[in-house]
Chain A
Amino acid sequence: MIQAHLPALQVVVPLFAAPLCLLLPWPRAAWLLATVVSWLAAGIALALLWTVRAEGPISYALGSWPPPIGIEYRVDLLNAFILVIVAGIGAVVMPFAKASVERELPPERIVLFYVMYLLCLTGLLGITITGDAFNLFVFLEISSLSSYVLISLGRDRRALTAAFRYLIMGTIGATFYVIGIGLLYMLTGTLNIADLAARLPPLLTLPAVQAALAFLLVGISLKLALFPLHLWLPNAYAYAPTVVTVFLAATATKVSVYVLIRILYTLFGGLDLPELPLRPALMGLGMLAMIAASLVAIFETNVKRMLAYSSLAQIGYMVLGLGLGTAAGLAAGIVHIFNHALTKATLFMAVGCASQRQVIGLRDLAGLGRRMPLVAAAILVGALSLVGVPVTVGFVTKWALIQAALAVDLWPVALVVLASGLLALIYGWRLVEAAYFQPLPDEPAAVAPPLAMQAPLLLLTVACLLFGLAAGWTLGLAEDAAAALVGPAP
């Protein structure tokens, strides 16, 4: 029966579609294949979430080799939720991609773009679904190598240096991860995450285990662009083609946050480890990212770079949430993965619609409210969501995060969250001001985006508001996922 094999199909379908796509001679056929595969993947992810919600975690033995010897795909509430986010963003981005790619890429590279996109999707879904620590590294490299290529497709030559810098830092991060896994394998003799989690507790005081954790944390922090290790991200997002930025901003760093949660909460069983002050370290770095990256965003004039720095600040919220170490904090972090994926995808998509230029300054948004009302409205909703205004998804996270901080009497943390929201108000306002209150420029206006680009944008904008109003479903899901990792909230 096919339903039993859904975990494997989730990864195998896009994996096999990628080389198939390369054989297709026409860009239109490649786009059709990539779109159908993205929708299939989203459907499979929803089906998996449905099954996990009804029947509990799924363990799938790949090739029928039983774990821990064979590779296990393990789906619980947390990664089913992440799968839905990744595949869902892919499914929304693909209809947008066709027109956007035709505007930005030379015709001979369009097919290759879809091949790389499918490989990247494979890697991200694989990282999320696998229950094997080394298999995770392989998928991490599949997604990373394809995203280096995707970024280098940008028209500006700075895309090349951005991709190169990402390649260097990404490879160092992935190699650190392998060193960490190697040390754990030396001590336990297993690579299955569930099996490792069972064997690690008596070994936690060993220096080698602590060194392994340090390597894993630094490696993954490089991949998720945690504040002092973020240098690859702003240019990579700013100079990549619009579709690539939308897709990577909404999924790649989020999947890394998921890996961080997996390492800390599943592998090491929580933040209360002997001799390691994980809570203050994670919370401190998270808050540093929230304030410092927001300050940089305020002074940035390149709109895509501004949004990239804002992403760094938002990653800070996620790390702060999971650094609180309580079920409520973790739930806030998890729900922010979803909320921020929606917000940033909306904003980057809107900016890509607003102008065809590779380098988009605030001036290019001038008079947008009259030229392209829908795009301007999407920027307004996205900016409000970054600030955390009620009715948007951003508010849901802020509310959950402040509640979680106050529940453990950390009111300074709650104040930092509010301060970061105020900083977001400043740069968000600059976007909205340019779109609505600046006069139309004299130069010929950018061509209005076709319906195929506006429809996904509208969908995401509505989703930003819808999940902001009806937050119960996502928040409930995140709370259940967090409770499964930490134990139920008191």
Chain B
Amino acid sequence: MSVLGLFNYWIVIVLMMLGFYVVIAQGNLVKKIFGLNIFQVSVFLLYISMAKVDGGTAPILAPHISLYSNPLPHVLILTAIVVGVATMALGLALVVRIKRAYGTIEEDEIAAIEGELP
């Protein structure tokens, strides 16, 4: 398969690295959560890409449809999306609590405050 034929997978890898980089490099906790979300979404794309069958339609049970995409990864990713949403909601809720407790959501400022605690 040519390089362009793997287009989806290139996008997956670029998104994955972008998200991962944001998680590691950003000091802002909200940005970290969004980086984490991009990282997770790239994996959703990986699964959806592998489910695609050339020339296949949506997996619907109908008399004239014989060639269709693999529905199993779709179902798996529906579950993973729910998990991703829950993770993001919990992460952002924690950021709100951290903001109230520390007065900042910057990692280095939090570390400085924690460094003075016993």
A interface residue numbers (CB < 8 A to B): 134, 137-138, 141, 145, 148-149, 152, 157-158, 160-161, 163-164, 167-168, 171-172, 175, 178-179, 182, 185-186, 359, 361
Contact = CB atoms under 8 A, between A and B. Distances in A.
Contacts of B39: 172, 175
B40 interface: yes
B46 A152 contact: no
Contacts, number: 68
Contacts of A145: 83, 86-87, 90
A163 B94 contact: yes
Contacts of B95: 164
B102 interface: yes
B61 interface: no
A186 B50 contact: yes
Nearest to B105: A164
11 contacts: A138-B83, A160-B94, A161-B110, A164-B98, A167-B87, A168-B36, A168-B91, A171-B40, A172-B36, A175-B43, A178-B43
A160 B87 contact: no
Contacts of A168: 23, 32, 36, 91
B66 interface: no
Given A148-B90, A168-B23, A160 B83 contact: no
Interface residues of B, number: 30
Interface in B92-114: 94-95, 97-98, 101-102, 110, 114
B97 A152 contact: yes
A134 B32 contact: no
B17 interface: no
A145 B88 CA distance: 10
Contact of B87 (A137, A138, A141, A157): A141
Contacts of B117: 158
B79 interface: yes
B68 interface: no
A305 to B, nearest CB: 12
A160 B110 CA distance: 11
Nearest to B110: A161
Given A138-B83, A152-B94, A175-B40, A164 B29 contact: yes
Given A161-B110, A179-B46, 8 more contacts: A134-B79, A141-B87, A160-B97, A160-B98, A160-B101, A161-B102, A164-B94, A168-B36
A346 B73 CA distance: 44
Contact of A164 (B46, B50, B73, B91): B91
A161 B98 contact: yes
B115 to A, nearest CB: 11
Contact of B118 (A160, A164, A359): A359
Contact of A148 (B20, B80, B94): B94
A167 B43 contact: no
B76 interface: yes
A469 B68 CA distance: 62
A158 B46 CA distance: 36
B114 A158 contact: yes
A138 B91 CA distance: 18
Contact of A138 (B50, B79, B98): B79
Q: Give the 9 A-B CB pairs with smallest separation, nearest first.
A: A157-B101, A141-B83, A164-B94, A160-B98, A186-B50, A160-B97, A171-B87, A167-B91, A178-B43
Interface in B8-25: 20, 23
B90 A157 contact: no
A172 B87 CA distance: 11
Contacts of A164: 29, 91, 94-95, 98
B36 A157 contact: no
A219 B39 CA distance: 14
A134 B50 CA distance: 16
Given A149-B90, A157-B101, A171-B40, A182 B46 contact: yes
Interface string B25-67: 0000100100010011001001100100000000000000000
Contacts of B102: 157, 161
Contact of B114 (A161, A171, A175, A178): A161
Nearest to A149: B90
Contacts of A178: 43, 80
Contacts of B20: 172
B79 A171 contact: no
A138 B75 CA distance: 13
A171 B86 CA distance: 11
A182 B47 contact: yes
A57 to B, nearest CB: 26
Contacts of A185: 50, 73
Contacts of A160: 94, 97-98, 101
A182 B74 CA distance: 12
Contact of B90 (A167, A182, A361): A167
A137 B76 CA distance: 10
